Amino acid sequence: MSTALKGTIDLLSRLVAQPTVSNRPLTELAAMLARRAEDAGMTVERFETEPGKVNVVASVGPRGTDGLVLSGHMDVVPVAGQGWRTDPFQLTEADGRLYGRGTCDMKGFLAAVTDALPALPLSKLSRELVLIWTHDEEVGCLGSAALGDQLSGRTLPSLAWIGEPTSLQICRLHPGHLTVDITCTGRPAHSSRPTLGLNAIEIAAEIAGAMKILAADLAKQRSDLPGLLTPWTVMNTGCIHGGSAINIVPEQCVLQVGFRPLPGLSAEVLVERIRNHLAPIDAAARQRGGRVDIVKSQDTPGLLTPSGTTLEALLRPDAATEVVGGVPFATDGGNLARLGTRSLVFGPGSIDVAHRPDEFVPISALHTTRSAISRVVMARCMVQ
């Protein structure tokens, strides 16, 4: 094992030891990454979105020059209830793999970038290098959504590399992620006299059936975009909450429905379609003193970066395949696109092991990524 890679693994061990599950603060990990960037000669800005939630933006090189953005998220998903064979917050090496929560999604990339910085001639860059480490990507890309205000008026480099796990395949597109809350309101009554009330759970049952029909209609509208595992807008009725006691006709029931809109399909258009689709159920409920309210609670835009960017060419030597594809999950790339970047998703590890027990990143993939970071930064930001 090279000395450089050992440093990356040692840093990854420290990052994994920070249990930055999205419902916890991540200020300590953010401070660690900020210090490492400052020690390497970068200017660091910290943007607190709310207590315990921080975005870290580090930059070096002439401001406003069109260099490169490297981006990743600092939060991880929970481990509760999962059957881990090792401590998820202690890095474990076995059979050429590094196990631990966040190893591939995506602290491996954070470690590779951070550990590569000291060996780069950052003071001599002729184009700007910007690191963007975000919070709460796993619960709706909340950190990157806040960057619009936090970086107001600032021009970022037009090319961004997001190190999500793609098994080292270059990916230029992905669907968005939209969450819609559908609140069904009825009228409470004693359960011995149900005709005096209006059962909100029964309204919700009608809604669930109608949404299944809508999902089938959306599945018929296929996209010809290459590289999408599911080339249609995917829907999932994920949560339902309703009722208060077995002897009360429930007054309220809420369904949370998730969508993966195709790139280019706006949340506003999709929400309006949902409202139109559910209008007959709402009208019937209102005639009986109830109603159906539809609210967009979370919106992460999709990504569609043109093929043939300079970054694509720079990543090709280390890509596992010649095919430039897409990923089925949302990333911070959609929000970064709103800031003027053209993002590619490319990183070590597989999404198939992310969010699961015994998440891991192959050591070989981590080595490839670290080498690629140094090479791409030099090629893009050190203009001869």
Just list the catalytic residues: 75, 137
Beta carbons of 86 and 358 less than 8 angstroms apart:
yes
Q: Using omega within 30 degrees of 0 as the cis cutoff, is the peptide bond preceding 106 cis?
A: yes
Cα separation, 151 vs 14, whole angstroms: 29
* Residue 65 · residue 159 · CB < 8 Å: no
CB-based contact 294:211 (threshold 8 Å): no
Please state, in angstroms and as integers, the Cα–Cα distance from residue 332 to each residue in 91, 167, 230, 302, 351, following that order: 26, 18, 20, 9, 15
Q: What gap in Å lies between CA 349 and CA 297, rounded to an integer?
A: 31
Per-residue exposure over 107-145, b if at least 16 CB sit within 10 Å of its own CB, e if not: bbbbbbbbbbbeebebeebebbbbbbbbbbbbebbbbbb
Q: 3-class secondary structure for 323-354?
A: CCEECCCCCCHHHHHCCCCEEEECCCCCCCCC
Strands laid side by side in the 252-260 sheet: 234-242, 252-260, 177-185, 291-300
| SS3 state at 291 | strand
The H-assigned helical ranges of 20-135 are: 27-39, 108-116
Nearest to 85 by CA among 95, 71, 72: 95
How far, in Å, CA of 250 to CA of 255, rounded?
14
